[in-house]
């Protein structure tokens, strides 16, 4: 199993349709009925193969549950999803949580049968890069310079890179399948799990909680696993208070949109410093992060 091999293990758009179809149902759906709904045999030319493979993989990863030939989701939203945008956000966040879960990454460096580990490794490595000097098309070359141990390399050919491009966009870690590394959407998705509206906390604690929910980001378990095998001469380590360029982009984007408020607090010693195209942005160091109430002046 390899999530990055989209030919064999399914596509993000099919996953979104499968998940949405089951979410809309008030009870479990017979497997064949679900597959026929998402990939009608009269329309789809592959006999439903891709939909079937996608369902199989994500059932194995725990997003779906199958009992007596009927499919249900393993998690439903607490409230009603009133529009397709909210449904997509719920599917994206739920799928992401399953991807980075420990139970789906038991053999983190396995080359085969790795459950979600190949995707998790790819995301962790990608998000550690200098986003201003990294292009998807250069991943193989860049990884080979940074990781000396060939058994630890992921991008041995373009197949996995292509898979990462599609899944990174779907999960909210890039803008487009072939564009910028940008985890803004993924970070936005988990904000309610870190801060309620109107709540605030010190910036280092915010980053720590974020790493627990998205462990492919700064300070996260999977990020550290990858950095441990990366040559520091090829990818410079950051200061302990310095954010990666990827996380810096996300937090500054959310500040720009008014979804996060970043404050300087002279009474606090611990702070966070974003990183820009020319290095650490010491002019933007901040100590405190707040999430404004809905409708509040920003």
pLDDT band at 255 (very low <50, low <70, confident <90, very high): very high
pLDDT confidence of residue 288:
94
**Quick check: 298 pLDDT over 70?**
no
| pTM confidence score | 0.94
Q: Which of 243, 88, 63, 84 is nearest to 172 (CA)?
A: 88
pLDDT confidence of residue 179:
61
**Quick check: 294 pLDDT over 90?**
no
Per-residue pLDDT tens for 28-54?
A: 999 999 999 999 988 887 888 999 999
Beta bridge partners of 29: 71
pLDDT confidence of residue 45:
79
In the chain the first and final C-alpha atoms are separated, in Å, by 46
**Quick check: 8 pLDDT over 90?**
no
**Quick check: 172 pLDDT over 60?**
yes
Q: Could you tell me which CATH number the domain at 6-81 has?
A: 1.10.10
Per-residue pLDDT tens for 130-152?
A: 999 998 888 999 999 999 999 89
**Quick check: 296 pLDDT over 70?**
no
pLDDT confidence of residue 178:
55
pLDDT confidence of residue 57:
95
One-letter-per-residue 3-state SS of the chain? CCCCCHHHHCCHHHHHHHHHHHHHCCCCEEHHHHHHHHCCCCCCCCCCHHHHHHHHHHHHCCCEEEECCEEEECCCCCCCCCCHHHHHHHHHHHHHHHHHCHHHCCCCCCCCCCCCHHHHHHHHHHHHCCHHHCCHHHHHHHHHHHCCCHHHCCCCCHHHHHHHHHHHHHHCCECCCCCCECCHHHHHHHHHHHCCCCCEEEHHHHHHHHHHHCCCCCCCHHHHHHHCCCCCCCCCCCCCCECCHHHHHHHHHHHHCCCCEEECCCCCCCCEECEECCEECHHHCECEEECCCCCCCC
pLDDT confidence of residue 143:
95
Residue 62 φ/ψ region, left for φ over 0, alpha for ψ in the -120 to 50 degree band, beta for the rest: left
Q: Which of 150, 14, 24 is nearest to 83 (CA)?
A: 24
pLDDT confidence of residue 295:
65
pLDDT confidence of residue 101:
97
Mean pLDDT of the chain: 92
**Quick check: 23 pLDDT over 90?**
yes
Per-residue pLDDT tens for 177-219?
A: 556 899 999 999 999 999 999 999 999 999 999 999 999 999 9
Per-residue pLDDT tens for 256-270?
A: 999 999 999 877 778
**Domain ranges across the chain:** 6-81, 197-290
pLDDT confidence of residue 135:
86
pLDDT confidence of residue 136:
85
Alpha-carbon separation of residue 155 from 27, 69, 164, 214 (angstroms): 41, 37, 10, 22
Q: Which of 223, 203, 219 is nearest to 211 (CA)?
A: 219
**Residues in contact with 244: Cβ distance below 8 Å, sequence separation at least 6, in sequence order:** 127, 128, 217, 218, 238, 275
Least confidently predicted of 12-16, 27-31, 39-43, 66-70: 39-43
pLDDT confidence of residue 1:
60
Q: Which of 163, 133, 160 is nearest to 145 (CA)?
A: 133
Residue 294 φ/ψ region, left for φ over 0, alpha for ψ in the -120 to 50 degree band, beta for the rest: beta
């Amino acid at each position: 199993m390899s999530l990055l091999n989209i030919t064999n293990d399914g596509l993000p758009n099919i996953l979104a349709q499968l998940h949405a179809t089951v979410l809309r149902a008030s009870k479990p759906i017979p497997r064949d009925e679900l597959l026929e709904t998402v990939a009608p045999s009269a329309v789809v030319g592959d006999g439903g193969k891709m939909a079937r493979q996608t369902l199989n993989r994500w059932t194995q990863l725990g997003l779906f549950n199958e009992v007596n030939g009927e499919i249900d989701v393993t998690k439903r939203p607490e409230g009603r999803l009133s529009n397709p945008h909210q449904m997509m956000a719920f599917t994206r966040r739920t799928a992401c949580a399953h991807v980075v879960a420990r139970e789906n990454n038991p053999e983190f460096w396995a080359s085969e049968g790795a459950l979600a580990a190949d995707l998790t490794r790819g995301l962790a490595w990608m998000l550690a890069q200098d986003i201003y000097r990294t292009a998807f098309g250069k991943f193989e070359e860049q990884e080979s310079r940074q990781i000396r141990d060939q058994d630890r390399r992921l991008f041995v050919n373009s197949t996995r890179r292509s898979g990462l491009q599609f899944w990174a966009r779907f999960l909210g870690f890039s803008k487009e399948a072939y564009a910028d590394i940008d985890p803004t959407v993924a970070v936005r998705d988990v904000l309610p799990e870190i801060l309620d509206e109107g709540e605030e906390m010190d910036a280092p604690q915010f980053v720590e909680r974020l790493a627990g929910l998205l462990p492919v980001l700064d300070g996260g378990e999977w990020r550290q696993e990858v950095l441990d095998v990366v040559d520091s001469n090829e990818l410079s380590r950051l200061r302990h208070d310095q954010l990666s360029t990827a996380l810096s982009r996300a937090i500054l984007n959310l500040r720009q949109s008014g979804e996060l408020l970043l404050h300087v607090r002279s009474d606090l010693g611990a702070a966070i410093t974003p990183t820009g195209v020319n290095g650490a942005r010491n002019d933007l160091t901040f100590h405190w992060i707040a999430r404004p109430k809905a409708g509040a002046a920003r």
